[in-house]
A and B are shown apart, each in its own frame.
Chain A
Amino acid sequence: MKPISRRTVLRGVGGAAIALPFLEAMLPKRTRAATPPKRFFVMFSANGTIPTAWTPTVGGTDAGATAGTDAGVDAGAYQSFTLSPILTPLAAHQSDLVIIQGLLQEGGGGDGHQNGIGGMLTGSPLNPGPFAGVGAPPAGWPTGPSVDQRIAAGLAAPTPLRSLELGVQVGAADDYGRMIYQAANQPLPPIDDPVQVYNTVFSDLHTDPAVLAQQRARNKSILDAVGAEYTRIGTQVSAADKQRLDAHLQAVREIETRLTTDLTVNNPACSDPTVPAVDAQSNDSYPTVGGIMMDLLTMAFACDLTRVASLQWSRSVSQVRFTWLNIPDGHHDLSHHSDSDDVAVTKLIQINTWYAQQMAGLIDRLKSTPDAGGGTLFDNTLMLWSNELAKGNTHSRQDAPYVLAGNAGGALATGRFLSYEGQGLNHNNLLLALINAMGVPDTTFGEADWCTGPLTGLL
């Protein structure tokens, strides 16, 4: 069943739950750029992994990579490796992956989960703030933007959405549940309700163009008036309060831009998505909601609604119960069991393997969706899967698990396992390399002391 949009005009005639045919009026208003757009995607899963079951084994058979020894390859870079049990679901895509191990996911402020998820994409420590941590003074939001937001700013793509933050059961609005930051202290909350995504992000695809034009003019008037009030009241409050109002004003300006920008569709694969009814917050709907979100994400890329997106599965300290894997325990509780608890370790491997399946599922979707200029969406996309911790029971972030997929239109060589063990490098170098891979020529990222340059051997 599809939800009924409040803006629906053409939809719902006869009550048929079928996606609208492609609207003629939405055909290209500009011709396609010569270079296909690069896209960036981040996926998060929580509570660390089981490193022994995550790290690939070097050597072995690997049809997709260079056979034999790795002569000529940098030390620690392997093209011949066997995927670990956890990453096995990604086997069909092994030649498109880069597995990265041996970096420290540095963080600061708050406790390990807090600064783990806060620093994971920002490479920055947390400011002091109001959120109570465990074993640390209360912390707030990170001191800088996340890597995807730096990329979005660098790309400055003419898409309606600067970036799209999706999530599945992300829970409370604190620094344990946020990973994307537009700037210091500006978390971008993920939308974890598929119907809300449908109604807001895809409204252009199910609204009559004439009505849409009218709505745009009206939205512009309303948001202009609202913006003027934020400016007005900003002059009547203290400096600290004015900062809050200015941040709100910036958010108003951003949606104004989006709600008044015409969507240019030039990909026949772009169509109005269907969103089945589901209780988005019920534990057992977790896989279903995630699947819908990945469908929506794929369509958002196909329609070029955005070129930067993320999917946040639950949150750090996630207590999702993987009942569909016959695991009734809360994930975070499980993640604290000792390494010698074989039952718990087996369950944690199952959970992390399930997340690898989801990553593989998204790669499948992108690979099976044509891009506007030929090829598939996957060809020009760079994907990162990361975790706030390396190990759940120690909160260690040494050897944090990173999986890259795709080559961003040829910016990096894939089919490799890169180990940086013993080199004392922080993950800031990885984040910077990703920014460079996306064509943004920065020379540092995040906390300056944690970054020594783009990760060697990746690009």
Chain B
Amino acid sequence: MSRLKRPWMAAPLAFAGLVGCHGSGGGGTTTTVSAPLCATDPGPAPMRRLTRFEYGRSLADLTGVDPSISAGLPPDEETMDFDDIADAYSVSPLHAESYLSVAEQAASTLLGSSAATTAVAGCDPTGGDATCVAAFVGAFGRRAWRRPLTSDEQQAMVQLYGATASPGPTDGLTAVVAAMLQAPQFIYRPEAPVTTSQPVDGYALATRLALLLTGAAPDETLLEAAARGDLGTESGLLAQTDRLLALDRAGELFVHFAAEWWEVETITSVDKNRSLYRNWTDATAPALAQETSMFLTDAWQNGPTLTTLLTAPVSFMDASLAAYYGLPAPAGDGYQKVALDPTRAAGMLTQGSWLAVHAKADQTSPVLRGKFVRAQLFCTPPPPPPPSIVVAPPVVDPRLSTRERFAEHTANAVCAMCHTLMDPIGFAFENWDAGGVWRDTDADEPVDATGQLTGTDVDGNLDGVPSLAALLTGSAEVANCAATQWFRYAFGRSEQTSGDLCAISDLAATLTGPGGDFKKMVRETVRMSAFRNLPPEASP
């Protein structure tokens, strides 16, 4: 399937500061108690690159451009559904040229505002005063490279200013900013190799923390905390963590992560066969994206439990989207939170975006929907069809129901081996058509939404999506899989070592333990060895 990534829209949000329940386990500096972490081995730490999402947000902070400027870069290589897996990255001259072009635009934007330029160093460098220029280079560099420049770096950038400050100082300053924004210190996240496992240094840890929690470079407060060495203690680290988690940006980051995990970030490139789905218009996919973004944002603000994601019978819609779903228009203008019928709706599982992505252009797909549940919620992707098989989606025959069209999957023993893992889950979604709209009939017969969940820790018979959601919420395997998804996103890699598996079980316990939710799991992440320590590596 063609997956054209678009910037995922995130609505702004605000919520009360999180009350921490974990503190230092060994320092004795806090009064709260935390469970000991089972993993001490940090696992591998391949050098990461800013994703387009992170790059755009960082540029916006540094120069005042719109974050969407990052659309000028080639798309991130995506694997395991995430955009930040370090091993997948490659670079080409097109990348380099895109970085040049975007950096120049951002630099011109910053230097185009004398207030913003002056604010960088507290003096106006555009007059060419050497002291102020040097201050500007140092101050901008510290924010862009997420640490103070070394004297060699400072000197190199001042030299670049000298070579380019013609016809005027602004030209030189623009060149310096453009160069800094293409340098590895900004685009990549280099961390010095170590020969024995040891803590990540303060500034690198600040970078890890800011990108993990806010999807952007550290802010001034965080840089100052790093400079003071505050992040070296668990209490200092958690204080910054809690501060960042209270920002709107943390919610935006959660939306970005969840949209990738649930494979809904591709909704804006989904289209339907409009002769069969007559209400689907150009406006539908963006509206479905907006709806899901608001659903996730609301979940983050009001307690992002796994149960909420799986079961909450609420969503967000305006009059036009409500009309698309065949629901009454909500009271009030624009998008409003609406209560849905709990016998039909179940959190993300009945979001229009998810239903439409996991369907074909001309029919529903019990295979895609069932496969998602196996692969993304249980982390046990079914084996693919044997290479010798001619895999053909059934021809849409309006006289046949979906279930009848997929009958061969159970009649043919070879197909049945794997499709019994997927189709019987997917059939439970049959009340939701390929456009994500409720239907009572299929091929003029009442919809049969019965099915089975098998081979899991919560097996049972299904009848409709809420029955599936109810089983999923009780599953330790689903909780562990949700934690696995977060682990992959958070560390930009697959789980590889026994320590990784151990870390994931710690995360899962925080997600579903008493009072647990995604916010607490995110907070727990920063306590882990994989987050705070570097693995030993050969010296360069």
Chain B min CB distance to A165 (Å)? 7
Known: A222-B164, A240-B46, A343-B395. A329 touches B175 (CB 8 A): no
A62 located at the interface, meaning its Cβ lies under 8 Å from any Cβ of chain B in the complex: no
B384 located at the interface, meaning its Cβ lies under 8 Å from any Cβ of chain A in the complex: yes
Taking a contact as CB atoms under 8 Å apart, the answer to whether B275 and A328 are in contact is: yes
Taking a contact as CB atoms under 8 Å apart, the answer to whether A135 and B188 are in contact is: no
A52 located at the interface, meaning its Cβ lies under 8 Å from any Cβ of chain B in the complex: no
Query: Quick one: which of B153, B164, B178, B538 contacts A232, CB cutoff 8 A?
Result: B153
Query: Quick one: which of B85, B163, B183, B391 contacts A226, CB cutoff 8 A?
Result: B183
A364 located at the interface, meaning its Cβ lies under 8 Å from any Cβ of chain B in the complex: no
CA distance A319 to B266 in the complex (A): 13
B243 located at the interface, meaning its Cβ lies under 8 Å from any Cβ of chain A in the complex: no
CA distance A393 to B47 in the complex (A): 40
B271-305: contact bitstring with A at CB < 8 Å (1 yes, 0 no)?
A: 10111000000000000000000000000000000
| Chain B residues closer than 8 Å to A130, beta-carbon distance | 77, 79-80, 85, 87-88, 494
| Chain B residues closer than 8 Å to A317, beta-carbon distance | 1-2
| Chain A residues closer than 8 Å to B383, beta-carbon distance | 135
B1-17: contact bitstring with A at CB < 8 Å (1 yes, 0 no)?
A: 11111000000000000
- A contact face: mostly helix, strand, loop, or mixed: mixed
Query: Quick one: which of A140, A200, A225, A333 contacts B360, CB cutoff 8 A?
Result: A333
| Chain B residues closer than 8 Å to A6, beta-carbon distance | 105
Stretch among B23-31, B96-104, B250-258 lining the A interface: B96-104
Query: Quick one: which of A169, A235, A337, A343 contacts B2, CB cutoff 8 A?
Result: A169
| Chain B residues closer than 8 Å to A219, beta-carbon distance | 100
Closest-by-CB residue of A relative to B383 is A135
A156 located at the interface, meaning its Cβ lies under 8 Å from any Cβ of chain B in the complex: no
Interface centre among A223, A241, A344 (most CB of B within 10 A): A241
CA distance A238 to B535 in the complex (A): 11
B381-425: contact bitstring with A at CB < 8 Å (1 yes, 0 no)?
A: 001111110111101000000000000000000000000000000
Taking a contact as CB atoms under 8 Å apart, the answer to whether A244 and B96 are in contact is: no
CA distance A237 to B271 in the complex (A): 45
CA distance A194 to B34 in the complex (A): 56
CA distance A199 to B102 in the complex (A): 13
Chain B min CB distance to A70 (Å)? 36
| Chain B residues closer than 8 Å to A57, beta-carbon distance | none
B157 located at the interface, meaning its Cβ lies under 8 Å from any Cβ of chain A in the complex: yes
- Residues 215-249 of A at the B interface (beta carbon under 8 Å): 218-219, 221-223, 225-226, 228-230, 232-242, 244-245, 247-248
B332 located at the interface, meaning its Cβ lies under 8 Å from any Cβ of chain A in the complex: no
- Residues 189-219 of B at the A interface (beta carbon under 8 Å): 190-193
How many A-B residue pairs lie within 8 Å, measured between CB atoms?
Answer: 215
A346 located at the interface, meaning its Cβ lies under 8 Å from any Cβ of chain B in the complex: no
Taking a contact as CB atoms under 8 Å apart, the answer to whether B361 and A321 are in contact is: yes
Known: A226-B182, A238-B540. A248 touches B96 (CB 8 A): yes
Taking a contact as CB atoms under 8 Å apart, the answer to whether A236 and B190 are in contact is: yes
Closest-by-CB residue of B relative to A283 is B271
Taking a contact as CB atoms under 8 Å apart, the answer to whether B192 and A237 are in contact is: yes
Taking a contact as CB atoms under 8 Å apart, the answer to whether B79 and A131 are in contact is: yes
Closest-by-CB residue of A relative to B178 is A222
CA distance A199 to B105 in the complex (A): 13
A319-353: contact bitstring with B at CB < 8 Å (1 yes, 0 no)?
A: 11100000011101100111101011000000000
CA distance A343 to B188 in the complex (A): 51
B19 located at the interface, meaning its Cβ lies under 8 Å from any Cβ of chain A in the complex: no
Taking a contact as CB atoms under 8 Å apart, the answer to whether B390 and A200 are in contact is: no
Taking a contact as CB atoms under 8 Å apart, the answer to whether B91 and A237 are in contact is: no
Stretch among A34-42, A182-190, A435-443 lining the B interface: A182-190
Closest-by-CB residue of A relative to B194 is A238
A278 located at the interface, meaning its Cβ lies under 8 Å from any Cβ of chain B in the complex: no
Query: Quick one: which of B95, B175, B384, B537 contacts A251, CB cutoff 8 A?
Result: B95
A395 located at the interface, meaning its Cβ lies under 8 Å from any Cβ of chain B in the complex: yes
Chain B min CB distance to A286 (Å)? 11
CA distance A182 to B95 in the complex (A): 14
Taking a contact as CB atoms under 8 Å apart, the answer to whether A254 and B96 are in contact is: yes
B477 located at the interface, meaning its Cβ lies under 8 Å from any Cβ of chain A in the complex: no
Taking a contact as CB atoms under 8 Å apart, the answer to whether A319 and B2 are in contact is: yes
| Chain B residues closer than 8 Å to A182, beta-carbon distance | 92
Taking a contact as CB atoms under 8 Å apart, the answer to whether A172 and B163 are in contact is: no
Closest-by-CB residue of A relative to B193 is A238
Chain A min CB distance to B370 (Å)? 16
Taking a contact as CB atoms under 8 Å apart, the answer to whether B184 and A245 are in contact is: yes
Taking a contact as CB atoms under 8 Å apart, the answer to whether B78 and A173 are in contact is: yes
Taking a contact as CB atoms under 8 Å apart, the answer to whether B385 and A135 are in contact is: yes
CA distance A182 to B393 in the complex (A): 37
Taking a contact as CB atoms under 8 Å apart, the answer to whether B537 and A188 are in contact is: no
How many residues of B are in contact with the other chain, CB < 8 A? 76
How many residues of A are in contact with the other chain, CB < 8 A? 82
A44 located at the interface, meaning its Cβ lies under 8 Å from any Cβ of chain B in the complex: no
Closest-by-CB residue of A relative to B150 is A232
CA distance A186 to B94 in the complex (A): 12
Taking a contact as CB atoms under 8 Å apart, the answer to whether B538 and A228 are in contact is: no
A132 located at the interface, meaning its Cβ lies under 8 Å from any Cβ of chain B in the complex: yes
- Residues 51-79 of B at the A interface (beta carbon under 8 Å): 72, 74-79
Query: Quick one: which of A199, A255, A337 contacts B392, CB cutoff 8 A?
Result: A337
CA distance A200 to B98 in the complex (A): 9
B185 located at the interface, meaning its Cβ lies under 8 Å from any Cβ of chain A in the complex: yes
Closest-by-CB residue of B relative to A257 is B93
Query: Quick one: which of B75, B76, B179, B384 contacts A222, CB cutoff 8 A?
Result: B179
B234-267: contact bitstring with A at CB < 8 Å (1 yes, 0 no)?
A: 0000000000000000000000000000000000
Chain B min CB distance to A45 (Å)? 14
Known: A135-B384, A328-B362. A226 touches B91 (CB 8 A): no
- Residues 348-372 of A at the B interface (beta carbon under 8 Å): none
CA distance A186 to B75 in the complex (A): 15
CA distance A171 to B153 in the complex (A): 38
CA distance A247 to B92 in the complex (A): 8
Query: Quick one: which of A221, A240, A329 contacts B160, CB cutoff 8 A?
Result: A221
Taking a contact as CB atoms under 8 Å apart, the answer to whether A172 and B5 are in contact is: yes
| Chain B residues closer than 8 Å to A141, beta-carbon distance | 90
CA distance A341 to B394 in the complex (A): 11
Closest-by-CB residue of B relative to A339 is B390
Taking a contact as CB atoms under 8 Å apart, the answer to whether B392 and A341 are in contact is: yes
CA distance A235 to B163 in the complex (A): 25
A23 located at the interface, meaning its Cβ lies under 8 Å from any Cβ of chain B in the complex: no
B445 located at the interface, meaning its Cβ lies under 8 Å from any Cβ of chain A in the complex: no
| Chain B residues closer than 8 Å to A341, beta-carbon distance | 392, 395
| Chain B residues closer than 8 Å to A330, beta-carbon distance | 1, 360-361
CA distance A182 to B93 in the complex (A): 10
B331 located at the interface, meaning its Cβ lies under 8 Å from any Cβ of chain A in the complex: no
| Chain B residues closer than 8 Å to A188, beta-carbon distance | 92-94
Query: Quick one: which of B2, B79, B94 contacts A132, CB cutoff 8 A?
Result: B79
B269 located at the interface, meaning its Cβ lies under 8 Å from any Cβ of chain A in the complex: yes
In the A-B complex, the 9 residue pairs with the smallest Cβ-Cβ separation, listed nearest first, are A135-B384, A251-B96, A241-B47, A229-B183, A171-B2, A130-B79, A134-B384, A238-B193, A172-B3
28 interchain pairs (CB within 8 A)? A129-B88, A131-B77, A135-B386, A138-B79, A171-B4, A189-B74, A196-B72, A218-B171, A221-B163, A225-B156, A226-B179, A229-B179, A230-B184, A233-B183, A234-B184, A236-B192, A238-B539, A239-B538, A240-B46, A242-B540, A251-B93, A252-B96, A315-B2, A328-B273, A330-B361, A333-B393, A338-B390, A344-B395
* Additional 9 contacts, C-beta under 8 A, given A188-B94, A221-B163, A252-B96: A135-B387, A171-B3, A222-B175, A244-B89, A251-B93, A333-B361, A333-B393, A336-B392, A339-B390
Residues in chain B within 8 A of chain A (CB atoms):
1-5, 46-47, 72, 74-80, 85, 87-97, 100-101, 105, 152-153, 156-157, 159-160, 163-164, 171, 175, 178-179, 182-185, 187-188, 190-193, 269, 271, 273-275, 360-362, 383-388, 390-393, 395, 494, 537-540
Residues in chain A within 8 A of chain B (CB atoms):
6, 111-112, 129-132, 134-135, 138, 140-141, 165, 169, 171-174, 182, 185-189, 191, 196, 199-200, 218-219, 221-223, 225-226, 228-230, 232-242, 244-245, 247-248, 251-252, 254-255, 258, 281, 283, 314-315, 317-321, 328-330, 332-333, 336-339, 341, 343-344, 393-395
